[in-house]
A and B are shown apart, each in its own frame.
Chain A
Amino acid sequence: MSAAPQPSEPTPPAVNRGEAVLEVRGVTKSFGALQVLRGIDLTLRQGEVLGLVGDNGAGKSTFVKILSGFHPPDGGEILIGGARATFSSVESARTQGIETVYQDLALIPQLPVFQNLFLGHELTRLGPLRLLDKREMRKLARQYLDDINVNVPSVDAEAAQLSGGQRQAIAVARAVRSARKILLLDEPLSAMGARESRLIIDLVKDLSSSGRVSIIVIDHNYAHLFELCDRLNVINGGRITLDVQVHETSIEELTELMVSAYRRQLEEVQNAGA
């Protein structure tokens, strides 16, 4: 499979694997009285794929939305390449090289596939008129989807006409295509059949093997995570409770860990109630 084309961005200089690209220190976030994140500490190194594991409601998606600029954090700091970063919006996070695939996919049902693929990165001509270069976008979209083996009826089909798996493939393809530094994937495989999952896993592996982009992925499927990731972080009660290399653990160990954490919580709730 050929690498994702990056026509609009110049090729970045060779990278030094292992350096921290993203450091998160003590990030907190509450919605009203509900404290979702209680001080997240996390490090993402150059070129690595980091899996985030945790129960529903543990704060994974909220954390991703903070990194993508969608929610502002209440406290703590975020460093990118060692420099303190603040994101006032999705756009500003994106200009600092962060792309995201959200759980809800963020596709526009009424727009054709090629326009969804370029949403937020439209190719335009005639300067300030910002006339869409539909022909070029169509061509590049067709090429790219062919390259990564995503099958859609046509790049002119509206997103509403696609199957769930196709929609998800388009959303992931969009982010992978434009990711420059950091790619955040919030359950990218949840609506997918086996063939499509394989396709996306290959796409992400391909991207990570290039070493340019570091990836954080949330998934409930441990088999996927163990295949994709270099390292896993467990998030529980709004904190990172475990940081482990994938080769140092196993699916069984991790499952046991999650279940025992769940039991402990249950006991705490029961004791508090008694």
Chain B
Amino acid sequence: MSPGRRVLRLFLYQRELTPIVITIALFLYFTIKAGSTFTDSLSLSSAAGYAGPIGAIAIGQVLLLVLAEIDLSAGQVFLFTPWMMYWMHNDGLPIVIAILIALLAACLVGAINGLITVRLNVPSFVTTLATNFILYGLVLVESNDAEASPIPLSGHTGFASQLMGAWKWSEILWVVALTILLGAMLNRTRFGVRIIATGGNLIGAAEAGVPIRRVKVWCFVLCSFLAGLVGIVDSIKYGTLDPGNFGVDYILYAVGACVIGGTALTGGRGTVLGALIGAILIGILEDGLTLTGVSTNQFFIYVGVVIIIAMALNVQFDRLIARSRSR
């Protein structure tokens, strides 16, 4: 095999490579353009601040995209779960219990999404669109439209508080750790094989004995859980909750990050690591454009262009793989 073909093969099968190269190129570009203002800790933590929430929602979303499903409510779960924690804690529950109940609520939302999708045969696009609105409404009603502040643990210096978000790097580290775990789950466990099988050939997987419905429901639960967990960390990091925040903003970036990372929405294929890299790419783009004095409004145009190019590449790569029949 010629070196050129070998490189093409590598990029074909290691989908994360293309966005990694682009992210590094962007990083170098902004470093040259803006110098130390881009590479200092303040700027990098702000890039991580963009990438963290998008990444947390994107990595869970990958599982559903591999299943040829989608969870539009994950962004709202990211916002709703810390509210739940806040309310429980205000009602006098210890913070650990409040966090556990909030996470349980997040899982319940996922379970409801999953069960409605597989039992009532409602497309997940619609199921989760609806739960997104319901959660948004719940927050508005229960909060009486008032901001929540202060968030418990926020600003504290103890280890547990720092770990749970008070330290500015803890959120992105959570996301990186969860990415590693989730990536290993998808590629190295029996459950991961079942996800790929269900998304790659639904009927075939069922015929081969994969419990396709159970697999789907668990993935909805996982996606909600991850969004809720990092949502709590995010709220502790910033110290306030705004009831007017709308989760759809997050979900659109998250799906964008998945696509940029190399996941097509056709099912059967996806990369968790790629989703994180997609989120980091978006974070660097937003931070870098702000620092180099480009109007932030242009950011959206760049994001759009990147997503289109990435998706076109994903589809072409998939076709190349299918065609490369080596007899």
Contact = CB atoms under 8 A, between A and B. Distances in A.
Interface of A: 68, 70, 89-91, 94, 100, 102, 104-111, 115, 119-120, 122, 124, 129-132, 134, 153, 157-158, 160-163
Given A70-B206, A163-B325, A122 B190 contact: yes
A107 B193 contact: no
B222 to A, nearest CB: 15
A166 to B, nearest CB: 8
Nearest to B192: A132
Given A108-B197, A109-B200, A131 B206 contact: no
B188 A132 contact: yes
B207 A90 contact: yes
Interface stretch (B143-151, B208-216, B276-284, B289-297): B208-216
A70 B322 CA distance: 29
Contact of B189 (A108, A129, A157): A129
Contacts of B205: 106, 108, 119
B205 to A, nearest CB: 7
B306 to A, nearest CB: 25
Contacts of B196: 108, 110-111
Interface residues of B, number: 28
Contacts of A106: 201, 203-205, 207-208
Contacts of A132: 188-190, 192-193
Contact of B326 (A107, A124, A161): A161
Nearest to A109: B200
B193 A111 contact: yes
User: Which residue, of A102, A132, A157, has the highest number of chain B Cβ atoms within 10 A?
Assistant: A132
Contacts of A153: 326-327
A90 B208 contact: yes
Nearest to A93: B209
Interface in B166-211: 188-193, 196-197, 199-201, 203-211
